[in-house]
Amino acid sequence: MMLSQNTKQTYPRLLADIGGTNARFALETAERQFAAVKVLACADFPSLADAMQSYLGSAELKQMLGRNEQRIAHAAIAIANPVEGDQVHMTNHDWSFSIAGLRQQLDFTTLLLMNDFTALAMALPYLDASQRQQIGGGVEQPGRTIGLIGAGTGLGVSGIIPAGSSWIPLASEGGHASFAPANNEEVQILQSLWQQYEHVSAERLLSGKGLELICTAISGKTIDAADITRRALDGSCADCLRTVEHFCAILGSVAGNVALTLGAKGGMYIGGGIVPRLGPLFAASAFRQRFEAKGRLSGFLAQIPTYLITEEYPAFIGVSAMLADHLDKHK
């Protein structure tokens, strides 16, 4: 969703990545050059406008803008929410707002709003070797479709399709596709979850809550997701290690499904907050083996590289790209 008036393309620009827990802000001073990055707790502010005003009123930002008496005219926000129409009601937080009203309140010439996973997908072509880690083999083919999957509070699925010199992001709810077990242990996990849920989606397992559900299904224990990860990493809990192993293997199967569905010859990327915390357990897991394990199409998938996104704030890159594209079109 975009709202703008006269759009003279100038820097600096305000970028934001809004989740249910944290609101991240940055000042873009030149193309993909980010300064004054700050993370605010959403719970500390009654509204998004209040959080943005707090950031804009910070001493650091005032000092940066005051040197040249600069005004921020253009802003873009990625938000963990569907974006349809002018009214936004966050599903994982209690903020609600009008995009037009927010633009007017903060005196922006341009305010661009997009889904956070769309922004993450649009960042993918700009990631370099220092911002991603390849898991397994495969070689990306330039100018081909790129896939994205990300496990966190939920399971995001997206991708981008080349369109001339630009990219078109896909809006998807692929995380809610049905979970398909690949071995007897996973059949047992599915049967356990069927006792609680009529439909067991991939997201039901590939999320923070999913780690807990897998652990309960295989061990009968109720352990917090953060503790499962910690105890798997330090080797203090065999059931937690098995849980993480199942999680990584299932993620590989689902990522392979997405890559097949999209024909993601440009590569398949893994985002979200969970996998980066798994450290060496993920690299040593069955993720890549399960990614390729598609019978007659295994050779097809073996050619597709899989990358873990290691950049701390990747959404800013996608937000920047989408805002720049919008401003180029409205010169």
Per-residue model confidence (pLDDT) at position 190: 97
pTM of the model: 0.87
Using 70 as the pLDDT threshold, list the residues of the chain that sit under it.
Answer: 1-9, 67-69
Per-residue model confidence (pLDDT) at position 6: 43
**Cα separation, 56 vs 60, whole angstroms:** 9
Give the angle subtended at the CA of 39 by the CAs of 282 and 173, to the nearest 5°: 55
Query: What fold is seen in the domain 2-120+314-329?
Result: Nucleotidyltransferase; domain 5 (3.30.420)
Per-residue model confidence (pLDDT) at position 331: 73
Per-residue model confidence (pLDDT) at position 68: 61
Residues sharing a CB contact under 8 Å with residue 92, sequence separation 6 or more, in sequence order: 19, 20, 80, 81, 153
Query: What architecture (CATH level 2) is domain 128-309?
Result: 3-Layer(aba) Sandwich (3.40)
Tokens of 99: 């995009």
Per-residue model confidence (pLDDT) at position 1: 53
Per-residue model confidence (pLDDT) at position 42: 95
pLDDT (tens digit per residue) in 271-321: 988 999 999 999 999 999 999 999 999 999 999 999 999 999 999 999 999
**Cα separation, 234 vs 241, whole angstroms:** 9
Domain assignments of the chain as residue spans, ordered by start: 2-120+314-329, 128-309
pLDDT (tens digit per residue) in 45-80: 999 999 999 999 998 888 888 766 678 999 999 998
